[in-house]
Structure 1
Amino acid sequence: MRFVVQSMMDPSSLTAANYLRRAAAAAQFVIRADGVFDGRTGRTGEVFVAVQNGLIRSVGESRPAGDVPVLDFGPDSWLLPGLIDTHVHLVFDSSADPVSALGPLGDDELLVRMREAAAAHLDAGVTSVRDLGDRLFLSRRLALHTRVDPGAGPHVVMAGPPITTPGGHCHFLGGAVDGIDELRAAVRERARRGCSVVKIMVSGGNMTAGSDPATSQFTHAELVLVVEEAHRLGMSVAADTHGVQAITDAVRAGVDTLEHVTFINHDGTPPPDALLYEIANSGVIVSATLGRCPQAWAELPDEARKMVDQWGVRFGELHRRGARLAVGTDAGIAPLKPHGVLPYAVVELIEESGLSPTAALTAVTVRAAEACGLADRKGFVAPGMDADLLVVGSDPLADPAALHDVRAVFRNGIRVRGGRPRVDV
């Protein structure tokens, strides 16, 4: 797929730096660290990861034979897969009113903003994102760019404009449809545009005037049509769900991921325990909305913080019943959600949802790769996988704050962030 995407680009549009990055991807080198979390388990002890042509070639406890440079990022460094955010909005600027800020921008101006947002994710060690709502398929241009130039941002999985109802949640992004025929046509358009996931706004949402998160926008029958058509065309379906009925309908329609899953209703009652078990038993991946900027969090009213804390409790309840959890930050929608906020979600999963450090890191690596349709390429440190790697300064299993001490970020075997390591030859 990488070679197909690159062939679609005009080579004359690439800068000299881009060509150098591509050439560097063919080089062989070894990363040495004092510990590794591979996406499922972690261990302390010297580890050597050999990289060639953008892929992991070997993982072992001794230095591979041969005259290959070894990059050493210092004592106590740990290596893990690049983090994966399953729910971002690169078109939004994380301001107090991102919808109004979006309105006056032309496509070229908006694309500049999206590139800045993508760079912020990469700075934080996030090497793949699933963009679940852009304006008029602009993320396609960014996705092509970051495949050719890994230093420009993470691998982008695109959904295009979310499918919604006329005047419904996020209708201003251009994905409103009315009726079965338009629903089917919208799914097919996303396939033609190169999307790998269909995003559908099953619930209303707070970002759209007149929209109610507790109210469903589509029927179960409509969701079944979307799922069947998307799966026929090789795409997954991400369902934006808040209300209990919307969550129930989405699970029973067979969607691939549930976004938010906040169980909002008008009377404040907790979700039925039977529904929690139904979600867990269905195998659907719950894309838990976590990750928040500490400074903005401290400024929120107590009532808002109590509500968000309750969401974390619900995610823990789902996890204990066997649900498969990934993390989608919803980056871009508010000051609480700046781009690159994903590392904070690991602490929240541990402290608020009750996950173990291992389970929390799995949620932002292996499980997130599954949610994004990237499990065969990313999220796991093993031979044959893409060399999307993160090096941090200490053991993230002992202290998740280590994720903020970024020593290096690699995308497709190219070091795109981080200081100069010691090189042994």
Structure 2
Amino acid sequence: MIRFPRPSRREVLAGLSATVLAAPALAQNAGTGVDVAIVGAGAAGIAAARKLAASGRSYVLLEAASRVGGRARSDTGLGPVVDLGAATFSRMDGTLADAAGEAGLPLVAVPSAARLFVDGHEVAESGYDAFALALGRTRRDMLAAADAGKDGPAAAFLGSRGPWTATVEAMLGPLGCGRALAAVSTLDLARRQAPPDDVTCPLGLGVMLERLAAWTNLRTDAAVTQITNAGRFYALALRGERSVIRARTVILAVPAAVLVSDAIRFNPVLPARVMLALRGCPSGAIEQVAFTLPGNPLHLADNETVLARAGEGAPTLLRGRVGGSDVHVLRFGAAPAQALSGKGEAARQAARTVMRGAFGLDMPEKLLVSNWGGDPLIRGAMAVASPGQGAQRALFASPLGRLVFAGEYTTPVGWGTLTGAWNSGEIAAERAIRLTGGPA
């Protein structure tokens, strides 16, 4: 989420896109019954599992992949650890930081501001003023439209074209949520009030979530293929297994795009209004390319972010000196992200072109490239409401019978953030506890 108080010469604020647990209940196997089955072990599913474990309810956390964390994935292919999905989160407005601290996991502060570059050099204070003015006007007009109940394309509020218009457009749209502003709901974007991400875990956020999931009743490589409402309980069928898991309540903590894809079948099928709401919030496209840049040629602080307005190219977002190392990460959004998802050579050429155009720098051959769009268990980045669909997220706030939704897409104000996903999991667990009887 972008904040825009009066900036200094060096900074412009920009958002880039628990309790201590008792031992978990472990007496659940396929074919037995549990109070709650959680489908998906990303941040939302892990948060829900920890909440249920603390409550004493029986539960099982089912993850189709061999690893947990969802879009938080740590990689050491370049030597130092780097996250190619979620890389930072907010210590405010949630309990994720508290859970990490109670688990003894280290957290470090990161700059919650981005530096502005033009043609490889930081802009003067007047450049920050001009960017903040363009951003502030756009946000003000969007908020006014949302307050008036208008929900057209967010691109309509960019105002007159100026030197920073394209940068504001990219920051709010492709680089911020993975979709061009012409395809983004004004209401959805205006309602988003996520605090700026200001902390990370030096072990990697993927590793952090793995540690937080360690004391849960977790089953990996457990792909749920069908959920059947059998009256008093739900029957969950797993790929390759003849027996089923019976649960009184189910928490669906998988991405909205996975539910739309019919990767999980429902009997009876989900209501049309739910499917329409899910389709009204399609996934944005964000991919990241990591590489080493020795010698700190851009003179960046550790974990610092740069928003670059290239002379002829598209605006660029660079996360520099990850964890104090020589690793840097470029972010691509919308069409450019779709073009390089899963394509190593295309990613290399795109990253090289960006680095030369924005910073005048060459880059090494070895890269790490994300593939969120091509991962069948993820299917893209955050869920973003299309124009006219901004009110649809409210539908996920209520359980559907004893099916409870969780994930970043379920929160109108914190969508697209790791903190929002974690908070949604805790809220889903509280709802599941009430549905199974007894206080949350």
TM band (smaller chain): under 0.3
TM-score w.r.t. length of structure 1? 0.27
Higher RCO (CA-CA < 8 Å; seq separation 6+): 2
Greater helix share, structure number: 1
TM-score w.r.t. length of structure 2? 0.26
